[in-house]
Amino acid sequence: MNIEPNNDGWRFDESVGWKLIHNEIDVIFFEETDKAISTQENLFIGTKEECDEHIAALGLHFPETEQTE
């Protein structure tokens, strides 16, 4: 479920479950959590499978992480 922004442009959710934050290109946050979260980016809440389907449908990318030696 997409969370719509409030009048100030913020999206907020305090439920327990899978939360996906993205900027229509990259996945910024994707985790199962019981923590409240707020963002000005796109926020999607659902099961892991629903989030995976949303990621695939939008063609989102997971940014590569730099490995330090």
For 43, other C-beta atoms within 10 Å of its C-beta total 23
Token pair belonging to 47: 């099961």
Question: Residue 67 above 90 pLDDT?
Answer: no
DSSP letter at 16? Answer: S
| Amino acid 63: pLDDT | 86
Alpha helical stretches, state H, the chain? 48-58
14-39 per-position pLDDT tens digit: 999 999 999 999 999 999 999 999 99
Q: What is the pLDDT of residue 29?
A: 96
